[in-house]
Amino acid sequence: MSRYSRRTFLKVAGATAVVVACAPAAQQGGASPSQAKGLTGTITVSYPDELGVKPKYVDMAAQAVMSKNSGSTVKIDLQKVSDDIYYTKLLLTLQSGDVPDVFHFGGDSISELADAGYIEPLDSYVNAWADWKQYPDSIKKGATYKGKIWAIPYGLDTRWLYFRRDDLQKAGLPADWTPSKLSDVIAAATAVKSKVSTVTPYALYAGQAAATGARDHAFVPLVWAYGGEMQTSDGKWVGNSAAIRKALAYYQTVYGQGLSPKEILTTTKPWTAMRAKLGDGSLALLFEGGWVYGGWASKDQAGTQKNVGYLLHPTENGGPSFTIGGLGTCWYLTAKSKNKDLAWEWIKTWNNKDTVAKINIEDPHPVARTDSADVPEFKAQQYLVDSTKSLEKARFLSPDASLSKVTTVIQKATGRVASGDSTPDDAAKQYSADLKQAIGASLVVDQ
Amino acid sequence: MRSGDAQSPLRFVSPAGRALYPRDVVARNSPYLLGVTPAALLLTLFFIGPALWAVYSSLTNLALVGIDAANPRFVGQDNYARLFQDPDFWTVIRNSVTFVLGSAVIGQFVLGLSLAVLIDHAERRGWRLATLAYAAVLLAWVNPTLIAGYLWSAMFDFFFGSLNHVFLSAIGVGPVDWLGSFPMPSVIIANVWRGTAFTMIIFLGALKTIPPDIYEAARIDGANAWRRFWDHTLPSLRPIAALTLLSITMATFGTFILIQTLTNGGPNIATETIALYAYQTAFQSYAIGYGSAIAVVMLGLNLIFAVFYLRWSRARA
């Protein structure tokens, strides 16, 4: 390059740099504070989405915030990845410091996010928000950790024991099959195995591949069905107990008798295959999330209504059946946000009565706001009414900072028994030892 | 660069044979030193730096979530003590060694060498199909590991896999739970398929450097094909073999995407290798400190392999 051209190049580059550096400031200053009404500044809303349901509601809320606050800009960071991939990326971002102002993730992470100092308590905001009274106390309690509110849920999680009426009928069971105790589930699966060879009888999630399914859709409901506890009232985790041994023995029966396919242990995202199989009738029994029903119904509404039954989880001796509740996904405000008021404005705007009702009709979940359950379109959906009602029988895992580590330990214990590598007693002992190692012996008690 | 003699590689000598003092060495080699500086800096930044960071964080309870994320502290050798008491850890080490021996040392190496010899043989005779075979093997290699994982997943899958539903059903055999009943052989086969091309390419290049007249002379002496391979081809390939083994061993030790896609380490921990274990600990249980301790042990194991191969290669050279 000649001397002349290099100098010219440097001049042009310098000028460009100045223009580029000034540009964002010029854009942000487009509406000066004196002209703008309401809140000003810029926030970033980050969320994962694979289904394609959320984006229009997110955009709608963003538009609403920007038109109400003319000096504000809401940037949307949509990540089309699964929740688990999103979470890892999000955590690394939260540690690095260049954080979004608002993000979207499951409510069972409240405690570990709060303890890490990533999220902002919302008490002062919700106390000044008239709509907060629409949230039932049980939900407020679910969003509370160490005495503070940390996240705003909108669609709650419930779970069902799904069963195929057509498959059970072929196995000689009634179409309105209702198990009165836990052993009835094994009896039904055994009947399917012996009489309907083309159908997989039962899917019981186990092992690491099953992710949180091994916890919420299998191990935890089993421990509760056998009358045990996951945690004591003072927050310690139960390591080895009669109920935990019984739950693991249930795994041994189910896998030992070939009632549940061992492929669950090795298939990537085994829930994808199991949900598809229950939907097409090649699987007879499955305890799964309430949100799965919508996928089947959208493919075949009439067939699903006719053939897919849903029930609460039975208990060992015929005590009241129950379900596992969850806060579902929530909106969080980051502690490092530089514009917390505008971020809250966005969260508040999203969580209006109509959006909460509509998104939960599209992606079926019980609604977090009581007034959203009164929206006529919501009330017209029997499944959603049943789901919302099921939460009266729901039990919740308490928010706990050790949950991720405990989940890994549960996956290992269930995997050991399901693969036939351990007896239930040995696996229960190892479960206790693994828990002590993972979260500290002082936080674990054997009963 | 002026090289030292074979016995003392660090003793620099001038062209006249006079020993050089360090200052002279620096002065005489300054253009070269200047040349290697950017590379050295980059290596320090991207290789030595992270390795040192891993050693440091393995001595802390650093985490991505919870109180430990807000207030990480130095825990000394706690993570290592915990690791060596972890009953799964020894299974994981055994799995890693089986996976490396099965898929790299035996599978990729032997198959890669065989393919290279066959293709070289075919090329020397001008057979056009050699190029086709070369391209087919190469295709497996140019796929990203994730795609390769999904391809094999689509074949092995019990419910929808083509191996069961196309091939076995065509011959009237019921479905086989490949990944559940034969997890380690399955992931080894997938990794051999994926990685053989690398070894093949290296050996094909090395085979081209062997002068054809050696074979001509051997043939005149009456040596058959096997003797020519054993007495001439193999010894010529030994130095490159050590380096190839070193790279595929290290790459295989670090592989986890393929296993993660196929079995996610299951059933139970039957295919959990050390790299996958480190990843799951650090990014699924979010325990960065403990995950780093596993990574440091992995680094140590790799170093042992590296020293072994390099010594072997020098001895042969």
Interface test with A, best of B61, B64, B68 (most A CBs within 10 A): B64
* Nearest CA among A399, A405, A417 for reference residue A444: A405
Answer for the pair B195, B103: CB distance below 8 angstroms, yes or no.
Answer: yes
**pLDDT, mean of residues B195-200:** 91
Q: What is the pLDDT of residue A13?
A: 43
Phi, psi of A180 (to 5 degrees): -90, -20
| Buried/exposed B141-167: b ≥16 CB within 10 Å, e otherwise | beeebeebbbbbbebbbbbebebbeee
Q: Which two tokens stand for residue B23?
A: 């200052």
The C-alpha atoms of residue B221 and residue B231 are separated, in whole angstroms, by: 13
The pLDDT of residue B308 is above 90 = no
**pLDDT, mean of residues B236-242:** 85
Please give the share of chain A, as a percent, with pLDDT higher than 70.
92
The C-alpha atoms of residue B313 and residue A253 are separated, in whole angstroms, by: 54
Instruction: Report pLDDT digits (tens) over B23-60.
Output: 777 788 888 888 889 999 998 888 889 889 999 999 99
Q: What is the pLDDT of residue B221?
A: 83
Taking CB atoms and an 8 Å limit, are B264 and A209 in contact across chains?
yes
Q: What is the pLDDT of residue A22?
A: 36
Tell me which chain B residues have a C-beta less than 8 angstroms from the C-beta of A273: 157, 159-160
Q: What is the pLDDT of residue B97?
A: 92
**pLDDT, mean of residues B113-130:** 86
CA distance A85 to chain B (A): 10
Interface test with B, best of A198, A263, A426 (most B CBs within 10 A): A263
**pLDDT, mean of residues A326-335:** 94
Region for A41 from its dihedrals, namely left if φ exceeds 0, alpha if ψ lies in -120 to 50, beta otherwise:
left
Q: What is the mean pLDDT of chain A?
A: 88
Instruction: Report pLDDT digits (tens) over A113-155.
Output: 999 999 999 999 999 999 999 998 888 988 999 999 999 999 9
The pLDDT of residue A20 is above 50 = no
Q: Which residue has the tokens 């739950």?
A: A247
The pLDDT of residue B303 is above 60 = yes
Q: Which residue has the tokens 């688990």?
A: A84
Identify the CATH number of the domain defined by range B78-316.
1.10.3720.10
Residue A252 sits at the chain B interface (C-beta within 8 Å) = no
Q: A159-325+398-445: same fold as A35-150+327-395?
A: yes
Residues forming CATH 1.10.3720.10 domain(s) in chain B: 78-316
Answer for the pair A300, A280: CB distance below 8 angstroms, yes or no.
Answer: no
Phi, psi of B75 (to 5 degrees): -120, 10
Taking CB atoms and an 8 Å limit, are B66 and A401 in contact across chains?
yes
Phi, psi of A380 (to 5 degrees): -75, -15
Q: What is the mean pLDDT of chain B?
A: 85
A73-82, A157-166, A398-407, B166-175: least confidently modelled range: B166-175
Taking CB atoms and an 8 Å limit, are A267 and B159 in contact across chains?
yes
| Buried/exposed A186-214: b ≥16 CB within 10 Å, e otherwise | bebbbbbbeebeebbbbbbbbbbbbbbbb
**pLDDT, mean of residues A30-58:** 79
Split at pLDDT 50, 70, 90, the class of B18 is low
Domain coordinates in residue numbering, chain A: 35-150+327-395, 159-325+398-445
Tell me which chain A residues have a C-beta less than 8 angstroms from the C-beta of B158: 261, 263, 267
Task: Please determine, looking at this structure, whether the domain spanning A159-325+398-445 carries the CATH number 3.40.190.10.
Answer: yes
Tell me which chain A residues have a C-beta less than 8 angstroms from the C-beta of B180: 262-263, 265-266
Per the DSSP assignment, residues forming a β-bridge with A367 are A155
The C-alpha atoms of residue B42 and residue B134 are separated, in whole angstroms, by: 35
Q: What is the pLDDT of residue B12?
A: 52
What Rg do the C-alpha atoms of chain B give, in angstroms? 25
**Residue A374 has what DSSP assignment?**
G
Q: What is the pLDDT of residue B248?
A: 92
What residue type is A158 in one-letter code?
T
Q: What is the pLDDT of residue A247?
A: 97
A54-68, A113-127, B162-176: least confidently modelled range: B162-176
Tell me which chain A residues have a C-beta less than 8 angstroms from the C-beta of B179: 263, 266-267
Longest dimension (CA), chain A: 92
Please give the share of chain B, as a percent, with pLDDT higher than 70.
92
Residues near B300 by Cβ (< 8 Å), separated by ≥ 6?
A: none
Q: Which residue has the higher pLDDT, B17 or A306?
A: A306
Instruction: Report pLDDT digits (tens) over A194-253.
Output: 999 999 999 999 998 898 999 999 999 999 999 999 999 888 999 999 999 999 999 999
The pLDDT of residue B140 is above 60 = yes
The C-alpha atoms of residue A201 and residue A264 are separated, in whole angstroms, by: 13
Task: Please determine, looking at this structure, whether the domain spanning A35-150+327-395 carries the CATH number 1.20.1090.10.
Answer: no
Split at pLDDT 50, 70, 90, the class of B107 is very high
Taking CB atoms and an 8 Å limit, are B160 and A273 in contact across chains?
yes
The pLDDT of residue B17 is above 60 = no
**pLDDT, mean of residues A426-437:** 94
The pLDDT of residue B317 is above 80 = no
* Nearest CA among A121, A97, A119 for reference residue A109: A119
Q: Which residue has the higher pLDDT, A151 or B122?
A: A151
Q: Which two tokens stand for residue A395?
A: 């039990």
Q: Using N-to-C axis directions, what is the helix angle for A54-68 and A353-362, rounded to 10°?
A: 170
The C-alpha atoms of residue B164 and residue A274 are separated, in whole angstroms, by: 18
The C-alpha atoms of residue B58 and residue B44 are separated, in whole angstroms, by: 19
Q: What is the pLDDT of residue B126?
A: 81
The C-alpha atoms of residue B82 and residue A436 are separated, in whole angstroms, by: 11
Q: What is the pLDDT of residue B2?
A: 40
Label residue A302 exposed, middle or buried (CB < 10 Å: 0-12, 13-18, 19+).
Answer: exposed
Q: What is the pLDDT of residue A211?
A: 87
Q: How many helices (DSSP H) and strands (DSSP E) are in chain A? A: 20, 15
The C-alpha atoms of residue A232 and residue A235 are separated, in whole angstroms, by: 5
Q: What is the pLDDT of residue B11?
A: 53
Helix (H, G, I), strand (E, B) or coil at B285: coil
User: Which candidate from B69, B180, B261 shows the least CB-CB separation from A268?
Assistant: B261
The pLDDT of residue A350 is above 90 = yes
Answer for the pair A372, A57: CB distance below 8 angstroms, yes or no.
Answer: no
The number of beta carbons lying within 10 Å of the beta carbon of residue A74 is 24
CA distance A91 to chain B (A): 6
Q: How far apart are the first and last CA of chain A?
A: 80
Instruction: Report pLDDT digits (tens) over B199-225.
Output: 999 999 998 888 888 888 888 888 888
Answer for the pair A189, A254: CB distance below 8 angstroms, yes or no.
Answer: yes
Split at pLDDT 50, 70, 90, the class of A29 is very low
Q: Which residue has the higher pLDDT, B6 or B278?
A: B278
Q: Which two tokens stand for residue A203?
A: 């899917």
CA distance A115 to chain B (A): 5
Q: How many CB pairs under 8 A join A and B?
A: 114
